[in-house]
Structure 1
Amino acid sequence: MKKIILDLATTLDGFIEGPNGEIDWCIMDDDMNFDGFLSSIDTIFYGRVSYDAWGNYQPEENAAPEEQKLWNTVHSKNKFVFSSQNREDENAVFISSDIVEKVSEIKNQGGKDIWLYGGAGLIKTFIQENLIDIYRISVHPVALGKGKPLFEDIKERLNLKLVKTNVFRSGVVQLIYEA
């Protein structure tokens, strides 16, 4: 069965974006092996706002070959968008109801794992519904003081088991937990 992996960056003080949605503090080092992560998944789950911003993003024509390759790889994945808007999109399947049931169906299809991309509202729903199997949290060496927190309005305690840590040259520490 596929696993749902929440893979995202947070600040040292627990924010996934700044107060104005900024993510300019995110560091991408080559020793993070993001390509390896992308090769382990075949599906991406988006909320509608995140999908509209990034689901069909194309880098500038003069972008580095590595960036172009990264986005080509991302866009080669199966995409599901969780939204109250039910719309047609040639690049994604929109899901507007029965989230737990639909997620179970997708997990049982076989294949590689699933990246829960976000945004914050979708992540919160997946945490509350206990749908995340693995948390890959990359803690960046910056504190913002305010912004959008990763864990917000949690109804019950979330007990996780640390299975691995990775420390990168940039000072980013990746914590990998099983739910």
Structure 2
Amino acid sequence: MRKIILDLAMTLDGFIEGSQGEVDWCIMDDDMDFDGFLASIDTIFYGRVSYDAWGNFQPEASADETEINLWKNVHAKKKYVFSSQTRQDENATFIQTDISKQVQEIKAQPGKDIWLYGGARLIKTFIQANLVDVYRISVHPIALGSGKPLFENLPERLSLKLVQSVTFKSGVVQLIYTPQHES
């Protein structure tokens, strides 16, 4: 069965966005192999706000070829948007109800893994519903002091097992965890 991978950047003090939604602190090292990650997925899950901001984002004409190719690769993926809004969009399928059931049906389809892109509310919903199979968190060497935390209002403890860690030349440390279900 396909896996849902939460892949995101986080500050050292646990925030995924600054207090104004800023993500300008994110570092993209060329040794992070983001292209390799993109090659391992064929589907992206978005919340509506994140989809509206990034789901059809086009880099500026002055962008380098690497950035243009990155966005072209992202936009080649199948997109699902979780939203209370009903909307027709030729680039995405909108899901309004029965999130857990619909996610299980998507996971059961043939294909590659699924990137849980975000935003914060969708990530929180997936964590609380135990729908995340892999936590791929890149901790950036910066503390913001405030912002949107990754983990808040958990209904219970979330035990994770570290399966890999990688340190990049920028000082970003990528931690890859899987949920450790208590028996």
Cα distance in 2, alignment partners of residues 157 and 69 from structure 1: 39
* Count of matched residue positions in the alignment of Structure 1 and Structure 2: 179
Q: Give the Å deviation of 1:119.
A: 0.3
Counterpart residue identity of residue 53, structure 2: A
Cα distance in 2, alignment partners of residues 166 and 96 from structure 1: 37
Counterpart residue identity of residue 147, structure 2: G
Q: Give the Å deviation of 1:64.
A: 0.4
Cα distance in 2, alignment partners of residues 124 and 86 from structure 1: 21
Aligned position for 1:168: 168
Matches within 5 A, 1:114-153: 114-153=114-153
Aligned position for 1:100: 100
Q: Give the Å deviation of 1:62.
A: 1.3
Q: Give the Å deviation of 1:86.
A: 1.1
Aligned position for 1:110: 110
Could you tell me which runs of 5 or more consecutive residues in structure 2 were left unpaired when the two chains were aligned: none
Q: Give the Å deviation of 1:85.
A: 0.2
Cα distance in 1, alignment partners of residues 63 and 124 from structure 2: 33
Aligned position for 2:64: 64
Q: Which runs of 4+ in 1 moved over 3 A?
A: none
Counterpart residue identity of residue 3, structure 1: K
Counterpart residue identity of residue 76, structure 2: S
Q: % of aligned pairs identical?
A: 73
For each residue in 1:26-54, what CA deviation from the matched residue of structure 2 results, as whole angstroms up to 9, or x when unmatched? 00000000000000000000000000000
Please, what TM-score do these two structures have when normalized by structure 2? 0.97
Matches within 5 A, 1:33-72: 33-72=33-72
Counterpart residue identity of residue 100, structure 2: V
Aligned position for 2:155: 155
Cα distance in 2, alignment partners of residues 33 and 24 from structure 1: 20
Could you tell me which runs of 5 or more consecutive residues in structure 1 were left unpaired when the two chains were aligned: none
